[in-house]
Structure 1
């Protein structure tokens, strides 16, 4: 008889899809073959996303057996959506009948369903099928604590969070300035806010929540969640901190090293600051000029992954046109100390390089985890989603980072002088802030690696998750 399967239902964004797949592969390995993995794949609404997802799946299928991919029928995307959270939530909801049919048609027992954090509408399908349902939370435990607390805050705070003058108190965290809240939460009149609160409420219905973090990184927050302090004493679903969940596959030794890596090979140890802003980050000419001036005046070596604005009506950044984006003469003046790369770059391979001593990052949680895994201190430059909240927790709570003033009201603009100050604070050998960030990053590198090793906290949490899923599989077979 085929082993019971765990059904994963991810959002197609790379930061969600790949993290869930990597978590699923870890669960498979931990089960010792007692479980299989079935991934339900939505057809993304754009050709670019469809191509990217297809590429990820081809690579996973080529890497070995163990995962079955089931492609769901296409649905007509919702229209007239105000923003990303509303669009994704409605798009997922439209797949409910297809998900139900796919799960019902499986010929092996279904031990559990693991939903993306934007997929809580499908908890109803899981209940109809009497299958245990878990949520995979791709952000950190602090963000999850905020989301658990948000339904009560919605009632307690009568104004928009962006209009609050006082701090917000979240159990396990320092006082939070409301200007650090995730973008969809700032305006209560926005449909994205309504969907955010909806998902926050429905997390409480899950059988458990799997979080891509390690307990050592966020001990006080995880303790507050477990104690019910984020939910007014009502027990929250069991949390499984199984991270860092990272895909650490590098180029094979037979391949020619990437040009960025070859350039880093020529630089002194810990001398280069990396600037990279994720798959959706880009710079306008005005902002790129500020970055260029700030880097040049800082005097530090740099590797800057520069992307240009997307075509109108799309979200995919374009390869940078240096003539349009950079100040005249900048490349010539900095050629001995800097490399500007105009396309996507292998961020993990760059962060792993001994020459990299700091990271100016958009602060996506996956990028933060990669930086911690390699012990690289950061300067957060948040752009969208929950990244402002990540920036707050990085600096004020976790510690492996130096703060930088980002003007949220000017589309997250940073002046050249502020970038210069932050880079110097991070990279100068006599900087007290930089020293503290480097020490904390080094400590967290060791802690992250220990957590996922046999006997570590995340290894234990993954084993606990497997045992709880296995019990569900036994129940389903009876």
Structure 2
């Protein structure tokens, strides 16, 4: 039977957001043969992997999913990453309008809605122009959605000046957690910059204009947060995750996977900090010192930061010995490996991995849960993670290293986390009764994540409700 309904998906630029959208597109067309999906792709100039990824997607997905690479725009220099992203989205609005117009003009299949990323709220205007509903896709958890709606209501309904909370000891009774939290602990520092505060809350305000919100989570992971949304005036919410590209491909012949094959079960600590994860030389030496003192087996994805003032992705070192303590590689040759880029999914799936030192990006968090690997939380970029690190710590799925650490994508960080702090977090994860209990909890949550996606599971049913809603247009 031919498709009769078309959805347009608009992810934010960046692989993490794109991959989540593509995986959701796969779920949609697999569940209903009457649906087809077009993914509109915006590309940052620094994202050199996007073109090859799109080629890979095109070759591997169903015929009812197609990709349109929009004309490349150069981001304007702004005062913050959030402002850069917002203006970059605005520069693509005309391209999105033109792409949607071409789809709408064909008339078959019938355009039934736009699904836009959480940072693409300006594209809601395009849906309005074409008389179709818009839906939001939150690439983080329900707690993040709740936080954004909560802060927006504090400002717009209770007239609270959020900028005054910077560095304060005020406690906010954020309903997605069991207990009140100090504002400065779980609010990203960037929110308190006046321009970023306006942008951040502007996104949340527009969430309320959509017909529904899809969230990359599952109800069993965030029951309090899901319950709290009803009191925050959210549109219909569909927890449909974990949405992940968890296809584990054979990496035989890849040196690091061969090394892992030689390690005992559940013995290796994996350190990896996301697509933009990197540290200055001083911080690298502190991490190295902590690893050496801990004595644990480790696999460390170490990447070189971009030049100061450059908004670029990190790259691999020609020789990591240049930034590591003298003799470190020789002294740890029997227990550890320092590498560049890492195939994170394949590594987390390996039987030798015992723990994961993570920047707490939501995709990394969900992958860690899926494979039953407990974490050490070391959040890096608050504008991306918001409070997901608080969630995993509160649930007993992660230990912690430095919860108030922040690293600006352009300026780096002026905070040095000491070797002692890092070693303490590592030992909490790898040793003792507490570590064993944490590992047990993660295994239990892993089973729940898989059941949620299986037929009859909470996310399976939630996705079905969303498809019914779309098809009823």
Shift of 1:55: 1.1
Report Cα offsets for 1:169-215 as digits up to 9, x if no partner: 111313222233353644242x2221111001000001111100000
> Is 1:365 aligned with 2:358?
no
CA shift, 1:370, in A, is 0.3
Distance 2:139 2:265 in 1: 32
| Worse-superposed segment, 148-157 or 266-275 | 148-157
Deviating more after overlay: 318-327 vs 358-367: 318-327
Unaligned runs of 5+ in 1: 473-478
Equivalent residue number for residue 208 of structure 1? 212
1:104 corresponds to:
101
TM superposition shift of 1:368 = 0.3
Coordinate RMSD, CA, aligned: 1.8
1:424 aligns with 2:427: yes
Q: Describe how 1:254-265 pairs up with structure 2 within 5 A.
A: 256-265=252-261
| CA displacement at 1:41 relative to structure 2 | 2.0
Give the corresponding residue for 2:268: 272
Alpha-carbon distance in 2 for matches of 1:239, 1:407? 30
Aligned residues: 454
* Contact 1:6–1:37 (8 Å) recurs in 2: yes
Alpha-carbon shift at residue 137 of structure 1 (Å)? 0.5
CA displacement at 1:105 relative to structure 2: 1.7
> Following superposition of structure 1 onto structure 2, how do residues 29-428 of structure 1 map, counting pairs within 5 Å?
29-31=30-32, 33-42=33-42, 44-46=43-45, 48-49=46-47, 51-64=48-61, 65-75=63-73, 77-106=74-103, 107=106, 108=108, 109-154=110-155, 155-157=159-161, 159-173=163-177, 174-183=179-188, 185-189=190-194, 191-225=195-229, 227-228=230-231, 231=232, 235-252=233-250, 256-312=252-308, 313-320=310-317, 321-341=319-339, 343-384=340-381, 385-387=383-385, 389-396=387-394, 398-406=395-403, 408=405, 411-428=414-431
Q: Contact (CA 8 Å) 1:362, 1:381: kept in 2 or not? A: yes
What's the TM-score once normalised by structure 2's chain length? 0.92
Greater shift, 362-371 or 259-268, is seen at 259-268
Answer whether contact 1:275 1:305 (CA < 8 A) is retained. yes
Q: What is the match of residue 21 of structure 2?
A: 20
Deviation at 1:305, TM superposition (A): 0.7
The 3 A distance-change label for structure 1 pair 447 and 208 is: same
Larger deviation, residues 386-395 vs 130-139? 386-395
TM-score using structure 1 length = 0.91
Change (3 A) 1:329 1:78: closer
Cα 1:159–1:92, aligned 2, differ >3 Å: closer, same or farther? closer
Q: CA 1:89–1:407 in 2, change beyond 3 Å: closer, same or farther? A: closer
Distance between the aligned counterparts of 1:81 and 1:377, measured in 2? 37
Deviates more, 1:209-218 or 1:65-74: 65-74
User: Contact 2:218–2:241 at 8 Å: present in 1 too?
Assistant: yes
- Taking structure 1 as reference, are residues 59 and 14 closer, same or farther at Cα in structure 2, changes over 3 Å only? same
| CA contact 1:72–1:98 (8 Å) conserved in 2 | yes
Please identify, of 131-140 and 121-130, the stretch whose mean Cα deviation from structure 2 is larger: 121-130
Which sits farther off after the overlay, 155-164 or 2-11?
155-164
Unaligned runs of 5+ in 2: 407-412
Distance 1:45 1:299 in 2: 41
